[in-house]
């Protein structure tokens, strides 16, 4: 299938491009390189440097490349910034996505796979988190993703759009061969930050809160390998053949790890000591967030290949060792 990957030069998008190729599909990448890296996409893959909200440019790409399905990973995703600059988040995450959907429909492309987030749930009343939990985002980032989800439901009903929305937990790791991996600026994800502290690229790692009602007092999160995430997206393609199909799936391992466990695992994998500073809790950090992904496993045949946190971290470490400066751009 000819697939347009919007945000295909970003962290998750670039890994999905590789998985698409491995599954026999033909990816085409659209990315404005605000956060993505041109080097994350193989030169043999058609690449378009433009904005997803540029309807004229996107329409031309859809026609020229004969696109059959669109996967959408492009979003601003810094939660704190979404609170201080919500206009930016609504414009990019919602308004530009609406333009993308309109352009798709105007050009006869009706299959859509959306990168959503567990942030649409807000602070869950029960754990593990299932798809039927109430959605009550506590920040504009989560709200913009939920707004898109609601838009997709309306478009499926009115226009026959077929879609799947995947609510991620904590994407982690890197390609097994170490060729691509995680390179954000600024970096906010825990595993690369801990690796940077281990290698001396940063002074230490801060633990925000050691008195949570968890086994070791630090926050619990669900880390899922980026390639496992990617494979789930591709597994849903067959379910989108029916006009108006609408699917929502959580993607996580269901086995949470604490901040302290991540630090210990990085020390085990790297053989290096991680300097730690204990700090007060951060506002808005729930004690625990982890998924029930049984729906994706049962309906899509999705199998989690990376079930151990050390194995996930080992792939990240391989990437960081080979590329200490990331993509160098």
pLDDT (tens, 9 = 90+) of the chain, 329 residues, equals 999 999 999 999 999 999 999 999 999 999 999 999 999 999 999 999 999 999 999 999 999 999 999 999 999 999 999 999 999 999 999 999 999 999 999 999 999 999 999 999 999 999 999 999 999 999 999 999 999 999 999 999 999 999 999 999 999 999 999 999 999 999 999 999 999 999 999 999 999 999 999 999 999 999 999 999 999 999 999 999 999 999 999 999 999 999 999 999 999 999 999 999 999 998 888 999 999 999 999 999 999 999 999 999 999 999 999 999 999 84
Tokens 């992904």 sit at which residue?
293
Closest Cα partner for 166 from 225, 98, 96, 236?
A: 236
Q: By the 8 A CB rule, do 313 and 223 touch?
A: no
Every domain of the chain and the residues it spans? 2-172+223-251
Give a three-class secondary structure readout of the chain. CEEEEECCCCHHHHHHHHHHHHCCCEEEEECCCCCCCHHHCCCCCCEECCCCCCHHHHHHHHHHHCCCEEEECCCCCCHHHHHHCHHHHHHHHHHHHHHHHHHHHHCCCCEEEEEEEHHHCCCCCCCCECCCCCCCCCCHHHHHHHHHHHHHHHHHHHHCCEEEEEEECEEECCCCCCCCCCCCCCCCCHHHHHHHHHHCCCCCEEEECCCCCCCCCCCEECEEEHHHHHHHHHHCHHHHCCCCCEEEEEECCCCCEEHHHHHHHHHHHHCCCCCEEEECCCCCCCCEECECCHHHHHHHCCCCCCCCHHHHHHHHHHHHHHCCCCCCC
pLDDT at 328 (0 to 100): 83
pLDDT at 255 (0 to 100): 97
Q: Round to whole Å and give the CA distance between 292 and 131.
A: 8
Q: Round to whole Å and give the CA distance between 241 and 111.
A: 8
CATH 3.40.50.720 for the 2-172+223-251 domain, yes or no: yes
User: Which is catalytic among the residues 11, 89, 121, 141?
Assistant: 141
Q: Round to whole Å and give the CA distance between 326 and 179.
A: 10
pLDDT at 284 (0 to 100): 83
pLDDT at 295 (0 to 100): 98
Active-site residue, 223 included: no
């Amino acid at each position: 299938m000819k697939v347009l990957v919007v945000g295909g030069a970003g962290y998750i998008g670039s890994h999905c491009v590789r998985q698409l190729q491995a599954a026999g599909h033909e990816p085409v990448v659209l990315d404005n390189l605000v956060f993505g890296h041109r080097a994350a996409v193989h030169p043999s893959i058609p690449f378009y440097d433009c904005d997803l909200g540029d309807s004229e440019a996107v329409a031309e790409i859809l026609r020229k490349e004969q696109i059959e399905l669109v996967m959408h990973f492009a979003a601003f995703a810094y939660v704190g910034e979404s609170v201080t600059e919500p206009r930016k988040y609504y414009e990019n995450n919602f308004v530009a996505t609406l333009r993308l959907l309109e352009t798709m429909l105007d050009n006869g492309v009706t299959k859509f796979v959306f990168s959503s987030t567990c942030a649409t749930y807000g602070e869950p009343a029960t754990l593990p988190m299932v798809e039927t939990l109430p959605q009550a985002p506590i920040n504009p980032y989560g709200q913009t993703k939920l707004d898109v989800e609601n838009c997709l439901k309306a478009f499926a009903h009115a226009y026959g759009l077929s879609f799947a929305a995947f609510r991620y937990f904590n994407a982690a790791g890197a390609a097994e061969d170490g060729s691509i991996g995680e390179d954000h600026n600024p970096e906010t994800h825990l595993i690369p930050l801990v690796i940077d502290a281990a290698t001396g690229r940063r002074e230490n790692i801060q633990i925000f809160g050691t008195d949570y009602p968890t086994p070791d007092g630090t926050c619990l999160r669900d880390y899922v390998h980026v390639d496992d995430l990617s494979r789930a997206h591709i597994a849903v393609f067959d379910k989108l053949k029916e006009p108006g199909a609408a699917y929502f799936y959580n993607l996580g391992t269901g086995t949470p790890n604490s901040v302290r466990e991540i630090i210990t695992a990085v020390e085990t994998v790297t053989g290096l000591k991680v300097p730690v500073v204990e700090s007060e809790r951060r506002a808005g950090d729930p004690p625990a967030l982890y998924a029930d992904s049984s729906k994706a496993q049962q309906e899509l045949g999705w199998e989690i290949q990376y079930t151990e946190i050390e194995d996930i971290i080992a792939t990240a470490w391989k990437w960081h060792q080979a590329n200490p400066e990331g993509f160098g751009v």
